[in-house]
Amino acid sequence: MLCEGRRALDRGRDVVVGFVETHGRDGTAALLDGMEVIPRRTAFHRGATFTEMDVDAVIARRPRVALVDELAHANVPGSPRAMRWQDVDAILDAGIDVVSTVNIQHLESVNDVVEQITGVPPRETVPDEVVRRADQVELVDMAPEALRRRMAHGNVYAPEQVDAALSNYFRVGNLTALRELALLWVAGTVDEQLDRYRAEHGIESSWEARERVVVALTGGPEGDTLVRRAARIAGRTKGADLLAVHVTRSDGSAGGDPVELARQRALVESMGGTYHQVVGGDVSRALLDFARGVNATQLVLGASRRGRFAQILSRGVGVETAALSGPIDVHLVTHEEAEKGRGRPQRSEAALNRRRRLAGWGLAIVGLPLLTAALLPFRGVLSLSHEILLVLCLVVGVALVGGSRPALTSAVAGSLVLNWFFTPPTGQITIAAPENLLALIVFVLVAAAVSTIVDLAARRTREAARARADAETLSTLAGHVLRGEAALPSLLGRLRETFALESVTLLERLGERTPDDQAEPAAWHIVATSGTAPCTSPAMADTDVKIGEELVLAARGRLLDASDRRVLEAFAAEAAVALRQERLRREAERAEPLAAADRMRTALLAAVSHDLRTPLSAAKAAVESLRSNDVAWTPEDREELLATADESLARLGRLVENLLDMSRLQAGVLGLVLQPVALEEIVPRAVDDLGPLRDRVEGDISVDLPEIAADPALLERVLVNLLTNAVRHSPAGRNVHIAASRHGDHVEIRVVDRGPGIPRESYDHVFLPFQRLGDRDNGAGVGLGLALSRGLTEAMGGTLVPDETPGGGLTMIVSMPVATG
């Protein structure tokens, strides 16, 4: 950032430094020479003094460019804005360009991933959208080995902090993973910029900047083959994307099998791909529109399942897509289902109900004779065209009431009646005038067309109503799950209520599949059920839906029609997904203790590697110096070396005791003996254990306090840890105060310091093992003190909670029960 600022200065641009944190690095400070630095503003918080960027001064200076370091930084409480990125927004709003810096671990979207990699949750984050708004994002990349060399040379941290940093956060594995995260995030940003450029310039053709493979799924049995083939194609290129898409026809005609589609979606997602669904009247064009929209480079389709004769009449989706694909490569994959045909479609139910169809037949049978009788007296008055129009009105009425079949029948019968009674020569099935023959033919065609259209409209209306009802059912069921209720039981319960069933049961096969296992209860296990009398095998169900090879959804109570079964199949697939998610959640819960233990083991090994080495090195150096014959030590020097060795070994002993006690706490085998304890005896011993730090502790414990129930040795350890922590964080000249008072059946011991304190949101975080607030003080120990203190206190039946010290600082409150008897 500073080099960019110097280049801008050399080009004659007005550049100022709004905020730069050098961290005491000479190389960084040297780059600031000759640059105008805006003075920082001073902020006060809890008795401590801090410096922050003076945004108002930067805006008042009105440079062309401002350099602002650490975009994700959290400002001191009480500042005009909580975060520095909000300060940057204010500077940008004033028309000033900003060049800033941010580490990958501070981006909000990767916060949890960084914690998994490093074990350290970033406390300061910046929304990704803020960084994506930048006109230019530049990745400052460095190989992990090169960065570690810079640290080893003292270019990043002070020499005494290098070993701890290299052994903990800055391990090669951590740096490699963070580097990959940064590369992938910047690559995604470049993709967005490319998509935006193509959209702004109306570029619809694909640019093969990155391999993207789209696989088209129909919900047919060939879907698994296509997904795996597309995954292999995508796997040949590092970083390629896999996308699956299913096209639903906009005319509402039947789509793919919902069970197959749900299973294929799970397969795609298990391979790292994404699933999409689009609506289109022309499948080929819808596929290509989607592929171009995601900038796909390859499109995978299955060979046609239609027969040879059908392929002669129409090219099919695959051939049509390949012809229109342009620069997108189209793969037509053969499979076992090719040319087997799609199977005979299910016969759709009648568009009109039985009552209306009977009414239509009645109108046709009764209406035509009545109309004929009414027209006969006017046979010489009305022309044939008038008589044809009147009969046509009757046919249309029959079509509106009863549908196509009675209408077509009445049209044929009407043509015969018109021929016999009203077309010369009457009384016989002959037509003398050709124009009368044409009129009758047109009459039949018009009547047939009108009746067909009316029937089709009624069918579409009924299908739309059915689809709306199904959609409401799906929405109700899905919403019931999304409201936070247990997914699988909720799904089955709502399914039973919606279709008025006696019971709905999800069955899972036990062992291998056998020919007669459908009726064998011992071959099935009830995973979940809703209602009374659950089915113990698929044969007991009135309606059963197979979900893959191992699961069956069994419904008892009544037979479901084809449309209801289709909805049931969709939710059977969702039930399988809910079951899989529930099992994954249980596995994750079972694995969490193991993961926690593994994290603690990792943290322990990383932390003690430095903290054991420091006292050992000091003690070893002191002893070796005493044993050396090369130097004549004075008595004062010998005393100082012995004191150094003694202090280092005592520190090492405390560290080992803490580690052992923490291990016992984690294993649940900590031995303790609760007995009445007088605080006026325990507190002075704890203060004496502090050694030279005892002079910074003040307080007076009243002898009138009742005895508490505690283990004397463990309580003393707790107080020593708390007092040591308080003294370490208190400013020079400010003593730590310890006091005790009774509150009902408990006695509270308060350790009060006047240090910087900690924010309330970090109260629980500081009690985690191997954590120090901010993880900055690498010479402060492995971070076991507070975690061990809380564990020991709770083991004795007490509590340890932090609180804010009035006027600034932190108060640790140990609450112990009063001894009884």
Per-residue pLDDT, 815: 94
Helix (H, G, I), strand (E, B) or coil at 371: helix
Mean pLDDT in each 10-residue stretch from start to end of the chain (821 residues)? 93 94 86 93 85 94 95 90 94 95 90 83 87 90 88 78 76 89 83 71 63 89 88 80 85 63 84 84 87 87 67 70 87 69 46 77 90 86 83 84 81 82 78 69 76 75 70 60 57 78 89 78 88 87 82 85 70 77 81 67 53 72 81 83 83 71 60 86 88 85 90 86 88 90 91 87 71 42 64 87 87 92 65
What are 748's two structure tokens? 């509270």
> What DSSP line would sit under 736-771, residue for residue?
EEEEEEEETTEEEEEEE--S----GGGTTGGGSTT-
For the stretch 565-571, contacts whose Cβ atoms lie closer than 8 Å and that sit 24 or more positions apart, written own/partner, are 566/258, 566/470, 567/470, 567/473, 567/474, 568/495, 568/499, 568/543, 569/257, 569/258, 569/259, 569/545, 570/258, 570/259, 570/262, 570/474, 571/474, 571/477, 571/491, 571/495
The pLDDT assigned to 776 comes to 37
Taking the C-alpha atoms of residue 302 and residue 631, their distance in angstroms, rounded to an integer, is: 87
Please tell me the pTM assigned to this model: 0.38
- pLDDT per residue over 16-71, tens digit each? 999 999 888 888 889 999 899 999 999 888 778 889 999 999 999 999 999 999 99
Element (H, E) at 329: strand 329-333
Amino acid 485: pLDDT:
45
pLDDT of residue 36: 95
Q: Are strands 65-68 and 97-100 parallel, antiparallel or unpaired?
A: parallel
CA dist., res. 814 & res. 164, Å (int): 32
According to DSSP, the β-strands at 298-302 and 329-333 are: parallel
Question: Residue 215: what pLDDT?
Answer: 94
Among 144, 216, 145, CA closest to 175: 144
pLDDT value of position 63: 95
pLDDT tens-digit series, residues 378-405: 887 888 788 888 888 888 888 888 877 8
Distance CA 615, CA 621 (A): 10
